[in-house]
């Protein structure tokens, strides 16, 4: 929330920050009707359209990236609250202090001494008066002081730091028992009424996207070239072109014959593709609803992809080239059901594709998806039975019993490893579990494909705890400061009402 403000902490940065902020908190007076000269106002601090536009432009020029006008406006509103709070607390900085800051800025020095000509050149380049610079710096320092006060009081003890390190970095020594859902398949009773009830409760899951079954012919330089004969004369001519090297003898023809043959065939294949591409284009265009003439006249085999529906998402996930995907799901092939133009697949290969069948996007009936419904129902029921069995085992353990379980060998798992393989809910349960009084802690991870019962035997803190603690304290301190600043800002927002003016923030041109 305060990332823009915090860019301007040091004296030199504040001077530059004043330029960037363009004195959006300078206020000012107007004889216009109240409210016509601002978008909104916090106390005495006005936020104008010109302020937002200028701040946005300067940030974009500085970063080289687009900056949302809404985010710029929100940042200025937050800063307005902070400055109004500073104004109410009479936080100020003297003119002498401002002069010292300017004089000590390296941008205005040579050999460690203040050079007024540099300072004046800076003012001229920035297009501001000295009074405006001083006034802007005074407001910036007041705002930064207020922000520092909002973040104050966040000392972190070694105990707090150790607790965080143990929580987030300490490895857990654990054992597990998995309850495979597949083991409970025989316990699931299936009939149409149950399947229909599952379908009705999960209809959105069975909304079928647009899909296609298709066929294609392939024009491939590699395939065509492989069928070409290579004469002894062609091999000799290619061999003669191999340059001789003074450092190594020229290989014998027999040693490079296979390689030369492949190279010659590749060139012949590429030449055939170039020659046949026009023919295949004409045949596809003149016979738009069939690929048979291409097969008959050019001898290219028709390949069918008709064993299952292919959606656009499936095509993307399978690694289908983008050019083919766009053509296959384009208007000519999918809607008009015409042959495509040759699609460049790379490596001297071209496809002409045609839709065999098209499925429109629709809500599937139960009959259409009964097989899938059955699979989903069985998967859900077996998972529930596996979870129930795991819970039963966990309840027995918590009651002091010892159910017969095949625990895995002991292993270590760090929080970083755990968060990568667990759902948010499972990870929270795992991170909270702590062995106590010499007894292991037990938890059930139910969001896995198969539920897992976990026994945590011990928590091992990092070996370099002494070196880790200072960093941990910094992290905690920074988070506490941010949270405290946020709470204080929320309090100021409840104290000062944001008053709306006549000016409007125009964001309609942004993506």
pLDDT confidence of residue 20: 38
Query: What percent of the chain clears pLDDT 70, i.e. is strictly above it?
Result: 84
142/8 Cα distance (integer angstroms): 12
Mean pLDDT of all residues in 111-137: 85
**What's 252's DSSP letter?**
P
312/209 Cα distance (integer angstroms): 9
pLDDT confidence of residue 470: 72
pLDDT tens figures, 234-256? 999 998 888 877 677 888 899 89
Report the mean per-residue pLDDT for the chain: 85
User: In which band, very low, low, confident or very high, does the pLDDT at 34 lie, cut at 50, 70 and 90?
Assistant: low
When mean pLDDT is compared across 36-50, 202-216, 294-308, 352-366, the lowest value belongs to 36-50
Asked if the model's pLDDT at residue 32 lies above 50, the reply is no
Mean pLDDT of all residues in 328-334: 95
User: In which band, very low, low, confident or very high, does the pLDDT at 146 lie, cut at 50, 70 and 90?
Assistant: confident
DSSP 3-state of 342: coil
When mean pLDDT is compared across 121-125, 452-456, 503-507, the lowest value belongs to 503-507
Q: Please, where are the H alpha helices in 171-291? A: 192-201, 221-226, 232-240, 253-286
Q: With both helix axes pointing from N to C terminus, report the angle between 465-495 and 130-150 in degrees, rounded to the nearest 10.
A: 110
Asked if the model's pLDDT at residue 218 lies above 60, the reply is yes
Nearest to 358 by CA among 215, 207, 507: 215
pLDDT confidence of residue 157: 66
Asked if the model's pLDDT at residue 301 lies above 60, the reply is yes
Mean pLDDT of all residues in 13-29: 38
pLDDT confidence of residue 457: 95
pLDDT confidence of residue 12: 39
pLDDT tens figures, 423-474? 999 999 998 898 999 899 999 999 999 999 999 999 887 766 666 677 666 6
User: Which H or E run contains 443?
Assistant: strand 441-445
3-state secondary structure 141-181: HHHHHHHHHHCCCCCCCHHHHHHHHHHHCCEEEEEEEECCH
Question: pTM for the whole thing?
Answer: 0.52
Asked if the model's pLDDT at residue 493 lies above 50, the reply is yes
């Amino acid at each position: 929330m305060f990332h823009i403000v915090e860019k301007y902490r040091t004296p030199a940065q504040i001077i530059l920050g004043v330029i960037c902020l363009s004195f959006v908190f300078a206020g000012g007076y107007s004889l216009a009707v109240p409210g016509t000269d601002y978008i909104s106002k916090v106390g005495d601090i006005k936020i104008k359209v010109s302020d937002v536009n200028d701040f946005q432009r300067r940030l974009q020029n500085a970063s080289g990236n687009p900056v949302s006008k809404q985010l710029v406006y929100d940042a200025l509103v937050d800063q307005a609250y902070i400055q109004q709070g500073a104004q109410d607390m009479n936080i100020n900085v003297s003119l002498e202090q401002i002069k010292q800051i300017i004089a000590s800025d390296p941008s205005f020095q040579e050999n460690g001494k203040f050079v007024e000509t540099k300072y004046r050149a800076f003012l001229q380049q920035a297009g501001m008066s000295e009074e405006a610079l001083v006034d802007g710096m005074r407001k910036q320092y007041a705002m930064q002081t207020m922000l520092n006060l909002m973040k104050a009081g966040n000392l972190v003890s070694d105990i707090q730091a150790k607790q965080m390190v143990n929580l987030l970095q300490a490895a857990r020594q654990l054992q597990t028992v998995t309850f495979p859902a597949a083991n409970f398949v025989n316990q699931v009773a299936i009939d149409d009424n149950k399947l229909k009830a599952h379908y009705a409760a999960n209809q959105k899951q069975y909304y079928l996207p647009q899909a296609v079954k298709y066929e294609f012919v392939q024009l491939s330089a590699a395939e065509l070239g492989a069928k070409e004969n290579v004469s002894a004369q062609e091999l000799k001519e290619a061999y003669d072109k191999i340059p001789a090297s003074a450092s190594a003898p020229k290989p014998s023809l027999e040693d490079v014959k296979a390689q030369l043959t492949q190279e010659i065939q590749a060139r012949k294949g590429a030449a055939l593709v170039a020659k046949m591409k026009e023919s295949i284009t004409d045949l596809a265009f003149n016979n738009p609803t069939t690929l048979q003439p291409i097969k008959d006249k050019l001898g290219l085999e028709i390949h069918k992809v008709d064993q299952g529906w292919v959606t656009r998402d499936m095509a993307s996930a399978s690694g289908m080239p983008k050019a083919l995907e766009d053509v296959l799901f384009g208007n000519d092939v999918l809607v008009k059901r015409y042959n495509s133009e040759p699609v460049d697949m790379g490596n001297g290969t071209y496809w002409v594709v045609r839709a065999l069948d098209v499925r429109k996007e629709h809500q599937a009936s139960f009959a259409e998806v009964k097989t899938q419904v059955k699979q989903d129902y069985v998967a859900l029921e077996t998972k529930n039975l596996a979870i129930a069995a795991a819970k039963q085992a966990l309840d027995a353990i918590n009651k002091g019993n010892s159910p017969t379980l095949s625990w895995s060998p002991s292993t270590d798992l760090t929080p970083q490893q755990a968060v990568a393989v667990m759902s948010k809910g499972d990870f929270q349960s795992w991170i909270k579990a702590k062995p106590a009084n010499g007894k292991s802690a037990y938890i059930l991870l139910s969001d896995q494909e198969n539920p897992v019962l976990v026994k945590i035997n011990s928590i091992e803190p990092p070996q370099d705890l002494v070196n880790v603690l200072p960093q941990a304290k910094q992290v905690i301190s920074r988070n506490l400061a941010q949270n405290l600043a946020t709470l204080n800002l929320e309090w100021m927002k409840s104290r000062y009402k944001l008053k709306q003016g006549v000016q409007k923030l125009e964001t309609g041109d942004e993506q």
